[in-house]
């Protein structure tokens, strides 16, 4: 990670991970919640990018996996967002490994660099107040404290961890946050009675957002989590770095990164052991970590009867209901209360709001049935456009493919014996096999066979195709369609 030397700005590091089943059927393994439009017309990831659009921040770094790079590219392009770089985690090993990668890479460019590490899937309704809290935390981070941001509770929530503030920390005579003393400074998710006690005692929700000097976190990792630090440091030292012009791509070495202990959070690895942790309270920033379908109802604007409607929904004589309709069907509720209806592209879930946590059991049962809907969507964003399965028959699939701008894709035909493309309307595009290019004629079919290397190039602002896969492998995930000839190409990971 190449951070500008002695920069006076804060480098945002956005962590983009997660398996994505807590909000099923909206969220899937290949489409976790950070890429969904859950609160407005931008995804949570895109709102995170918008949150750091301030002169105090330098260009951000992204920490993600190869599985999400296409989605990251596509959604970032929609925001016209520039990056300093992307770190591709070979495997997800928990927030300790993720933050170690951020700290180690950042310290190579400037060991005193200030880094703001935050998840891509949080909601913050009042970003200006959050920015004020970040600015307030700078003196703490500059004094080598690892600063966490504590959310002032609005209810005795049992789904979050808590932070117990200690003595106030003074900078130039002014109280700036508080120290977090151990043991007992970080507390696990409580039951309801303990949650009520925590709120009464002034404890804070743990938001999982951190500001730190890169070298400070490196030293704490060496002291308290040496196995994590050593594996991550070796993976970066032996990894691959590519300068892609607009940004840097950093790919840690797989074998070294695999030595990281699995699923270790930064809280237990470092924060619960360190004497150099502080917390800055955040009040009224509108923070939410959407951990269940009912949480969508909690954070959303409601009508006069307490109903929340997203998409094509209609309610009559109903109260306190949630309708999330994104399939193109109209969802109608009448004469019911406290019900959630989630109508996705390939699954419908109906259950009481009070039973939102049952989704976990539902997903577990569907996994035993090998139901593909548990993990994978019928549509996927690509860096060059989008693809969606419209219909599936015994021997074929009919899909829609869209190209945005003057983009192209070169891939090897696989996952089906034959595929046929139909260009629609007055759009202009061409196809190439073995280096010879021919324009598509709208409405005329063009077919390719398994094993052929094909390039599709868009020559207009938008091109739309019907795409038919003949004798397809129905277990071939849509994420893996259009496999690149080279495993990692600059065109595949390019942002901008």
CA-to-CA distance for 169 and 201, rounded, in angstroms? 19
Output the pLDDT for position 19. Answer: 67
Output the pLDDT for position 447. Answer: 96
Domain at 162, CATH number: 3.90.550.10
Output the pLDDT for position 164. Answer: 93
331 and 230 housed in the same domain: no
Residue 6 lies in a domain: no
- Residue 220: count of CB within 10 angstroms of its CB: 24
CA-to-CA distance for 493 and 496, rounded, in angstroms? 10
Q: Among 369, 395, 415, where does a domain finish?
A: 369
Residue 3 lies in a domain: no
pLDDT in tens, 16-49: 987 667 899 998 888 889 999 888 889 999 999 9
Q: Among 261, 289, 317, where does a domain finish?
A: 289
Q: Which of 63, 72, 126, 112 is nearest to 266 (CA)?
A: 63
Burial class (CB in 10 A: 0-12, 13-18, 19+), 205: buried
284 and 177 housed in the same domain: yes
255 and 333 housed in the same domain: no
Output the pLDDT for position 209. Answer: 94
301 and 431 housed in the same domain: no
Output the pLDDT for position 3. Answer: 38
Instruction: Indicate the number of domains in the chain.
Output: 3
Task: Annotate 399-429 with b (16+ C-beta within 10 A) or e (fewer).
Answer: bebbbbeebbbbbebebbebbbbbbeeebeb
Q: Which two tokens stand for residue 113?
A: 């660099």
299 and 157 housed in the same domain: no
pLDDT in tens, 370-415: 888 887 888 888 888 999 998 888 899 999 999 988 888 999 999 9
276 and 152 housed in the same domain: yes
Output the pLDDT for position 492. Answer: 38
Q: Among 315, 334, 369, where does a domain finish?
A: 369
Residue 5 lies in a domain: no
CA-to-CA distance for 85 and 96, rounded, in angstroms? 20
Residue 469 lies in a domain: yes
| Bridge-based pairing state of the strands 162-163 and 204-213 | antiparallel
Transcribe 410-444 into DSSP letters: EEE--SEEEEEEEE-TT--EEEEETTEEEE--TT-
331 and 225 housed in the same domain: no
CB-based contacts of 108, cutoff 8 Å, min separation 6: 1, 2, 236
92 and 180 housed in the same domain: yes
Output the pLDDT for position 489. Answer: 41
Residue 2 lies in a domain: no
258 and 393 housed in the same domain: no
Output the pLDDT for position 484. Answer: 66
Q: Which of 115, 118, 144, 140 is nearest to 130 (CA)?
A: 118
Which residue positions in the chain have pLDDT lower than 70?
Answer: 1-8, 19-20, 484-496
Residue 271 lies in a domain: yes
150 and 169 housed in the same domain: yes
118 and 256 housed in the same domain: yes
Instruction: State the residue range of the domain holding 423.
Output: 378-495
Domain at 393, CATH number: 2.60.120
Residue 4 lies in a domain: no
- Which residues in 252-406 belong to E strands, given as ranges? 277-282, 287-288, 308-311, 313-316, 322-325, 331-334, 339-343, 348-352, 379-382, 385-392, 396-404
274 and 302 housed in the same domain: no
Output the pLDDT for position 112. Answer: 84
Which helix (H) or strand (E) is 61 found in, with range?
Answer: strand 61-65
Cα–Cα separations (whole angstroms), residue 448 to 241, 296, 412? 36, 44, 10
Residue 460 lies in a domain: yes
């Amino acid at each position: 990670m190449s951070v500008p030397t002695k920069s006076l700005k804060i480098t945002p590091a956005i962590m983009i991970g997660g398996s994505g089943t807590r909000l099923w059927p909206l969220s899937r393994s290949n489409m976790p919640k950070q890429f969904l439009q859950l609160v407005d017309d931008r995804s949570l990831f895109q709102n995170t990018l918008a949150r750091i659009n301030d002169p105090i921040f330098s260009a951000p770094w992204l920490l993600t996996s190869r599985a999400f790079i296409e989605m990251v590219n596509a959604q970032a392009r929609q925001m016209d967002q520039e990056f300093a770089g992307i770190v591709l985690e070979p495997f997800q090993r928990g927030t300790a490994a993720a933050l170690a990668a951020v700290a180690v890479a950042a310290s190579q460019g400037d060991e005193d660099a200030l880094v703001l590490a935050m998840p891509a899937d949080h909601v913050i309704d009042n970003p200006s107040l959050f920015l004020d809290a970040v600015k307030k935390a700078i003196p703490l981070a500059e004094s080598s404290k690892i600063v966490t941001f504590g959310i002032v509770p609005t209810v005795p929530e049992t789904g979050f961890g808590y932070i117990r503030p200690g003595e106030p920390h003074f900078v130039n005579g002014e109280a700036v946050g508080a120290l977090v003393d151990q043991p007992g400074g970080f507390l696990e998710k409580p039951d309801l009675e303990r949650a009520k006690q925590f709120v009464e005692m002034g404890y804070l929700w743990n938001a999982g957002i951190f500001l730190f000097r890169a070298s400070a976190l490196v030293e704490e990792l060496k002291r308290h989590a040496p196995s994590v630090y050593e594996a991550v440091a070796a993976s970066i030292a032996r990894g691959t770095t590519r300068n892609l012009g607009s940004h840097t791509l950093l790919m840690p070495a797989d074998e070294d990164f695999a030595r990281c202990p699995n699923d270790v959070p930064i809280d237990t690895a470092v924060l619960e052991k360190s004497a150099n942790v502080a917390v800055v309270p955040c009040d009224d920033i509108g923070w939410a970590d959407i951990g269940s379908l009912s949480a969508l109802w909690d954070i959303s604007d409601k009508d006069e009867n307490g109903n929340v409607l997203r998409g094509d929904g209609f309610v009559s004589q109903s109260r306190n209901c949630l309708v999330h309709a994104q399939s193109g069907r109209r969802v109608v509720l009448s004469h019911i209360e406290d019900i959630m209806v989630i109508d996705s592209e390939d699954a419908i879930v109906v259950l009481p709001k009070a039973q939102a946590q049952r989704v976990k059991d539902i997903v577990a049962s569907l996994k035993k049935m090998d139901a593909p809907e548990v993990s994978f969507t019928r549509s996927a964003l690509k860096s060059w456009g989008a693809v969606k399965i419209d219909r599936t028959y015994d021997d074929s699939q009919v899909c829609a493919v869209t190209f945005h701008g003057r983009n192209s894709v070169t891939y090897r035909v696989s996952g089906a014996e034959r595929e046929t493309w139909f260009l629609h309307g007055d759009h202009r595009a061409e196809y190439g096999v073995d280096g010879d290019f021919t324009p598509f004629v709208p409405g005329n079919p063009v077919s390719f066979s398994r094993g052929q290397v094909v390039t599709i190039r868009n020559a207009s602002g938008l091109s739309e195709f019907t795409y038919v896969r003949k004798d397809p492998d129905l277990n071939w995930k849509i994420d893996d369609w259009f496999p690149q000839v080279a495993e990692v190409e600059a065109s595949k990971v390019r942002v901008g």
